[in-house]
Every structure is written in structure tokens, then in C-alpha cells.
Structure 1
């Protein structure tokens, strides 16, 4: 039988948890209805590193972070695209340095990370944005493509974070952003390798978020961004409907930057996707499959073309 002191302590812990929960809910509501300017943090002079910064939302995020006064470092395997991002950011009057990096090469990531620290400085915000997609069914997908998908979409997150997290830990300040996907929460037909890699990215962020809190590194924030299809060319040929609109790159980039500045832990785009995820968790599998058929999830990839090499 528990002693009165233990019971009393348990009651106090329960009461504290209830009060803290109510406070957190009110805070969340306030962040939703009040102007975002009240909650954005100042990143003037901070160094933001964006992987996959040579095109798409990566380039847009570089420009938007620069607009907030940050110094930009862009990593991309495409040297020409990277140079164009550097040029565009520099044209705004902001600092930008580009590095050609193959995110499939762990040793190269570590080596270039060391150069960044020596040539630019400590990275304050790391945005793991780079991603690829094959768009083939499992049995049609070459082994090499599956490995490359995981290298870029998931494993590179481990190597970049290991390269820069130590410095963040020393000052207990920093931010790690993982660009994942709603495909990291809900599987999709024709995207077995892609969904698996994005599930890994979501799990990586979730576990890292908890680990940092347990270690007392409360000054280091994490954000995972999970959009549906974006019109960057990466998913060219995908057919969606009004329930799953193809998002514009500029809007996704803006929402991602704001989520980072406001320390939002999880960003799903559009936000109504939270409802879809909840239904996915509580409804029977047969019902979920019927809903997938009704909303076109089972056939969206039928016309997939993907980004052409000329782009």
C-alpha cells in the first residue's frame, strides 16, 4: 500500500499536468489567432544552412531566410543551381555561400561541414530539405534507386545533424528543420520507397525532439514539415483533386520559414491533413481503403513523370 506522501505527490503531479495542459492549449490557440509577428524570433546575423538549396523550395527558403536578416549557406549536388541561388540571394544584399555536396556521401558531408564552420561559422539553423523520388512500384524500383532515396531523404539527416548539433549543444541554441512529407504519415500507392524514407525522416525528428528535451537542451528547437504534393516539378504528372491540391512552392516555403521562426514542432500542409491523419488512425482499414479510392490516393501516381533532367 502506498504511503500518504507518495499519494499526495502523485495528486500534485496530476494537477500540475492538467494545469500545464490547459496553458499549452490556450497558448496554441493564441498562436493560431494572433498575428504571427508576435511570435516570430529574430534571426538577424544567424547562419542558416539549407540542403537542396539549388532549386525549388530550397532556393525560396534561402531567399526568405535572407530576407529575415540571416546569412545563408546552400548545399546542393547541382553546382549550377547552387550558383544561381547564391547569385539571387546576393542580389538582395544578403550573405550567401554555396557548396557542392553529394548527400549520398557521408564522408563528403562531414568534410564540407568542417569547411563551413571554418569559412562561415557556426550553423544556427539547419534545414534538411533535399529530397528525391523515383515514383515506381516496389518491384519496378531498382535497388540502387531505393538506396539513393534513403541516402538523400533520410540518412543524410543523420550525418548533417551529427555534423552541426555538437556546436548547438555547447550554446544550447539552434534549430533543426526536417522537410518530410505527409507521405511520412500515410502510405501512398507507387511510393513505397519514398514513403518509407519520409516515415524515417518523421521518426528521426520525433525521436531527436524528445532526446534533446531529456538531455536538457531546451534551447535547441526542431520542426518537421509535412506537405502534400508541391508543384516544383518533382511530382510532375501527379493528378490530384480539391481535397489534395498541389501546393505552390512559394507558399510552402513561406509557411516553413514562419514555422521555424515561431518554433512550431510539427507543420502539416495544408493543416486540414491533421484531420485525414486522425481518420487514418481511428477508422477500420477497409474504410480507409474506400476513402483512398474516393479521394484518388490510389491512382494519383498513375501519370507520374517526375522532374525532367533538363530542368
Structure 2
């Protein structure tokens, strides 16, 4: 370990890092970042082509990189891939639950199947991987689990009902799990919940930023998440002040709270949403 600006930072050299959603966006950037820290990376995504592109970039750092095609909403496939990863790497030191999806429809227009799909990827897929590896981490007395949630897990918005529900669930799971690890004496197993505002990866194409709230750069998000792992941070808020703003606004009467959100642009932010073409 080495001394950082705000405390002890872990050395990630030769650690085994599993990243879901590694085929693009911040998943790809995190793979490159962890590889630069000399960590070995198990990269998971449903997009095989994207995975190979990520692997080619990460391998330039000279660490061990392997790819696994997996639909994380399928519990049996997750279990199978987890076994492969254990066989290939011997275990996982850091789990990054990053894969996600968005539909961008109003609740009235969403089908039950679409809502189930959102929950299956954004919540259940993360839970499946967590359940696969947390017992191993408890047994070895250490490990890091990072759940990439969203500011939508703290604040519900129009046209994001299914997405917000999945992210609220993930925030709740992360908080409960963090406290359970402490309660039952597994303090070496660290849980980090990441709640970013919109990251400019194309997933939210057409989203109109709130007043005074520009998109977060993907490289910035990836760097902060890697830093959080090195420092065992329980939360990563992007921007940092967002949690305090939301907490303060929650103290207001509901009508005033809603009106203020509309002033900042929350009510219209998804009006021109298109998302990724693929």
C-alpha cells in the first residue's frame, strides 16, 4: 500500500478485477485504467466485438486480460461464466458491476417485458455476480464490490421510471450489504456505490443536461471509480455536491421540490432522448 492524498491507497498490481459492461463506455475505460495499475482483468459483456476491442487496448499494459461473452440477465449464464473466471484467474479481488441499459419511455408506454428487462440487467445481473463472488471474498477476508448505480437511484425523473427503480434498488442493496459486512465481521469486504449524474457515453443521447449540470466525462468517471477502489470509499457521487443538494431539497414540501426540479430542467430532460442506435 502507498500513502495517497486522503489516506492509504491499495496497490492493485496482480489483483484480479472483473468488469461487466466492459465492451464500451466507462467499462472500457476502467479496463484500461485497471490494466494500467497492473491488475489482471476479466472482461464481461454481451457485445463480443466490443469486448475484443477493449481487450486489445487493455493488453497494451502488459497484464493478463480475458474476455467472456455473457447476458448478465441470465442467472445460469452468469453462474457458468463465474466458474470460467475462477478457473482462469483463481478468484476475483475486485468486482465492478457496471453493465446497464435504458429504455427511455414513459411508464404508460413501457411494456412489462421492457421493465423486466431493465431490472434484469441493471439490478438482477449485478446481484447475480455479487452473489457468485461475495462468498469467496468473505472466505478470503477481503475484496471490493463496486455497484455502478446512478443519481437516478437517488432522484426519480419522468421517462425514467424503470431505470430509476432499478437504480434505487441497487443503491439500497449496496447500503444494506455494506452494513451487513460490518455487522457480521467481514470488514475486509468493501462495498462501493457509485451514483453519477449523466456520463457522456452515448447511452443517454438526446438527454438535455440540467441547469448548471454538464455531462460527466467518461474518463473522469472511470478514474474516480478506480480511485474509490484503491481507497475503499463507500460512495462515489458525481458531481460530489449532488447528494447534499438532493438531501436539502428533500426537506422542502413536495410541490416546491417538484417545481424547483422543473426549473433546473428535470421535467424536460428526457423529451428528446434517443439513446444509442444499437
Per the TM superposition, whether the score is higher than 0.5 is: yes
Distance 2:125 2:210 in 1: 32
Shift of 1:242: 4.3
**Structure 2 Cα separation of the partners of residues 168 and 275 of structure 1:** 32
Alignment of 1:35 with 2:22, yes or no, is: no
2:148 match? 179
Distance in 2 (alpha carbons) for counterparts of 1:47 and 1:280: 41
CA distance in 2, matches of 1:244, 1:100: 35
Match of 1:203 in 2: 172
Report whether the alignment pairs 1:97 with 2:96.
no
Tell me, which stretches of 5 or more residues in structure 2 are unaligned? none
For 1:235-278, what per-residue CA distance to the aligned partner results, in whole angstroms no more than 9, with x for missing partners? 00011144221111111111111111111101110011022221
> How does 1:111-260 map onto structure 2 within 5 Å?
111-260=80-229
The offset of 1:119, in angstroms, is 1.5
Give the helix-richer structure, 1 or 2.
1
> Highest Rg: 1 or 2?
1
Matching residue of 2:21: 52
Give 1:158 deviation, angstroms: 1.6
Q: Structure 2 CA distance, aligned partners of 1:162 and 1:280?
A: 35
TM-score by length of 2: 0.97
How far apart in 1 are the matches of 2:176 and 2:116? Answer: 22
Task: Report how many aligned residue pairs link the two structures.
Answer: 276
- Counterpart CA distance in 1 for 2:8 and 2:22 is 26
> Contact conserved, 2:210 with 2:266, CA < 8 A, in 1?
no
1:8-87 map, 5 Å: 35-36=5-6, 38-87=7-56
* TM-score, structure 1 normalization: 0.86
* 1:279-299, Cα deviation, whole Å (9 max, x unpaired): 232111111111111100000
Aligned to 1:18: none
Whole-angstrom distance in 2 between the partners of 1:121 and 1:53: 20
| Corresponding position: 1:268 with 2:268 | no
User: How far apart, CA to CA, are the structure 1 residues paired with 2:210 and 2:222?
Assistant: 22
* Structure 1: distance between partners of 2:245 and 2:120: 29
- Aligned-residue CA RMSD in angstroms? 1.3
